[in-house]
Structure 1
């Protein structure tokens, strides 16, 4: 194999490897399972946020400030990272508690995937 062929093979292999790495990173960063998230959401979030994420759960209506409405224009402006941070760490001066002690990272990603589905 000539030096030129060797360099070409290495370039292709490097490109494929980096492509696989970046793809797997993207999947792990936003690869939550909305179906699993729905189960967690119904068990832990529906009381405040309501069954469709409109902030109209039995407790959510009475909260000051009210529970977040995922279908609102304000909520739709939030990035996935912002929403993940809110789920994991809560929101100061509101009833939104931090879930990072009760849910693992995969479960938080699952809830995030479901919340993103509710925003549509």
Structure 2
């Protein structure tokens, strides 16, 4: 019985360790929604990039290419509501339009996290 209590305690402790660091929602969103085109290194060289008629942007240069200021209209570009030629026709789903299942973060939270990630990866 004592061994079982120690074993149970060890399992609970290990579970706590697994969740000790919060996941970076911005990275998760980027890797799951953007990386196939923009690349896993954010430089526009993802596995699907060659299939697009316009090369995806190097997302580490957004601020540099905008006079050193992170672009204000990035949210419209990120979620697909503003036309971006490389993103294809409007029948492509808008990024934020997907049902939120129980336990998931809402659209605004995911968008804010993704934009925060993009801000953090900017080349100085």
* Same fold (TM > 0.5): yes
Greater relative contact order, per chain length (Cα 8 Å cut-off, separation 6+): 1
2:72 counterpart of 1:81:
yes
- Alpha-carbon distance change, 41 to 47 in structure 1, aligned in 2, over 3 angstroms: same
Q: TM-score, normalised by structure 1?
A: 0.59
The answer to whether the 8 Å contact 2:38/2:44 transfers is: yes
- Alpha-carbon distance change, 65 to 78 in structure 1, aligned in 2, over 3 angstroms: farther
2:26 counterpart of 1:37:
yes
The answer to whether the 8 Å contact 1:47/1:57 transfers is: yes
Q: 2:85 aligns with which of 83, 93, 108?
A: 93
Rounded Cα–Cα distance in structure 2 between residues aligned with 1:69 and 1:107: 21
- Residue 59 of structure 1 and its aligned partner are, at CA, apart by 0.7
- Alpha-carbon distance change, 53 to 46 in structure 1, aligned in 2, over 3 angstroms: same
Bigger radius of gyration among the two? 1
2:4 match: none
Higher helix share: 1
- Residue 92 of structure 1 and its aligned partner are, at CA, apart by 3.5
CA RMSD of aligned residues (A): 2.8
Q: State how many pairs are aligned.
A: 88
The unaligned stretches of length 5 or more in structure 2 are 1-22, 99-105
Q: TM-score, normalised by structure 2?
A: 0.58
